[in-house]
Structure 1
Amino acid sequence: MSPQPRRMMVLGLLTTLMLALLLTAHLTRATESALAVKVGGKVSELLHAGLPDSATQGDEVEKSKESVVSGEIGKHFHVRPSASTPKTAAVAGCEYPVVIHVTPDGHCTGVLALYGSIVRNVLMQPEALKGKTCVHVTYMDPALTSIEEMYKWTARPNPFSTPEDCAKLDKMPALNDVVPIRFQALRGIEKPDFMQALLAEWLVALNKVHSWAFDAYPLILLMDADSIQITNLHLIFDESNPRDTITGAPDQFNDCGDRSRINGGMILLRPSRYFHINALEMIYDQDSSCTSQRWEQSEQELLNCLCGTQGPPNGLRHEFSCAIMPFYNSVWPRNYACSAVNVEPMRSIHFTAATKPWKVDPQKLSERFDYGFWGCVLNGTRGGSGEVLKACEMAGMEESRKLDTLITPEPMGGE
């Protein structure tokens, strides 16, 4: 074969090869493009499910706000993507934030006394706490229909004009200057059909779970309104393990040696939206109610099932590390004589499994040191006087050992 035809054959083969390569590249790009559209569309569907386009706004927006349980992201719960919590949600310089949930009833008096006791603790230990302590009061706002709106954690004006004890929480300049106070709205939680809380107030307490998303701080201390702070608030934070998501006070219902479960009355929490949504998912999953199958103990059962202090030994969410606090961080009146309290002074008292102090005749509060201390703090707070608060004395360990056998005061009117 002459050189010319051979050259033409080689050129033909090269041309064919180049065309084949170009066709392959085109088909590959087309396939990748189609895959990208498919995957991208699915990602968009997952990330923006429930977000209406401009043509279908209105009814769709209202529909997306109506139901907490839509099933679009997660098995039971749907939260649309939203911006991170702004830095302004935190009180500047606050290292020891305390979060208290309030309902507009007798708990207002408890919240006022608890707030005053925190102010007193700061006044008594200014080197450790002054300028580093703040309080956030959470409340359920029926007008707040969106979890995404709640996640902004906007500081609200005091929503209470009554009862008086709630209304005055932010109207005591001498105390508010010592411990800044803010109000945060929570969305109500739709209770699952299978939930049967043992007490009506425990049903309402489920709303507190929303505060587990309050990530304006790396750590928050959740305290129940029937508690009173005494001393060393900073050590409750500083002595915790930084790896733990939940550090809870021991549940002491049986006796002072019963430390196997968490009590919801004091929780040191590393809050996050991820943790919050996991907890909400569990609320609507009946199998997650690991002891009663109906959330009889509300958010306290949720905590213990999540952590494994009840139910599965390793908990239902292994990625969240849990621990139980030292006993003296939160002591019940029935257990003052426990040896742990004889070693370390009580840091706070939780008036659970006992008469609530605001239900006791004010004239009889002084019959016991714990109720007397609570009454003194309440009066000092109502008067807006830091000096009166500082004058409120808490009994020492010797006296507290003698009170475990005494009967707690009866409520007024035999309630």
Structure 2
Amino acid sequence: MRIEPRVKGFICTTAHPEGCKAHVKQQIDYMKQQDTTEGPKSVLVIGASSGYGLASRIAAAFSCRAATIGVAFEKAARGSRTATAGWYNCAAFEEFAAAEGLYAKTINGDAFSREIKEQTIELIRRDLGTVDMVVYSLAAPRRTVMSREGAPITYSSVLKTVGQPYTSKSIDLRTNQVTQVTVEPATEEEIDNTVKVMGGEDWQDWIAALDEAGVLADGAVTVAYSYIGPELTFPIYRNGSIGMAKRHLSQTAATMTKEYRDRGLQAYVSVNKALVTQSSSAIPIVPLYISILYKIMKEMDLHEGCAQQMYRLFHDKLYSGEVALDQDGQIRLDDYEMRPEVQERVMKLWENVCDENLQESADIQGYWDDFYALFGFRIQGVDYEADQEADRVIPSLCAAE
């Protein structure tokens, strides 16, 4: 069948298998063009099917030659419905890894669940023995855990402010028009639930489970991802409900490093650059900021995508000697974005951006190109007129939804 994008708000409900494969290959080709240096040898990526998680797996495999196990929660094609983009990404990654003799297996299921943790542990024990790096890159809207009585409890995250509402410019992704948006404050319960979903609790559960099972190598590295951004986005991000969760994430890193000191574990939070992802597209204000940021960083030859960011994380930060941290103990991979000269130019455009000058003030085309690329569309060299077989196999698939 011929597959076309179907966009609703900030999500695309279709994905293109050959486009996703080409997008994965672009990132792999970038890694292969860089120097192959020392790094991890056996890597578990939790949240491995898109964005920074997928790029982390690609960096580990194709710039470090590491064996990788990826955990994702994706859907296969069903009838006339395509698979999710993450499903196609995992299938393509495994195909390219196998072609180069790299170990790569994927577990599909709810990473929050005990069952998937146990299945992952068994796979590591059987095939790798231990892992020396754990990447935690989950971006889920909800998390279900079991109570002591065995009843499921589901927590849902919210994208809200804390304390006071916040009104600012944004962009209506349906019309590409500049609008005003007001974000209401979260309740205490909503904040707590957001921390439960997006904080460090599950990350810590994973490390504890791996350690107790004896499959976490001595001296292992584990990293989770965060974002801070400029003062402009502080009310919705750094100081909002999601920011409370990210603070908990950072505190968890410090706690785990201390708790597992005898094992030599180093736990880090990497603060990454703002990029178009399925998660960032849903955050008010952020898409307009990203569009302006793209324009400035491309003009200054500072722009990076997920692959470039993750190569720098692995080879300039984590595995280049002593790891440089900021005053809060975090790796700052957003250093180019937060340069004063970049932010000054971004804020000057932000103050004046409106419908009449949007195309000149922001890289709207770049934003949408990156958005569609997440789902395998608008990728150079792909024949989108050709019939496609939507059903693609993840060769090593160990579990299914």
**TM-score, normalised via structure 2 length:** 0.31
**TM-score, normalised via structure 1 length:** 0.31
Larger Rg: 1
Whichever structure has more strand as a proportion of its residues is 2
Relative CO higher for 1 or 2, CA cutoff 8 Å, sep ≥ 6? 2
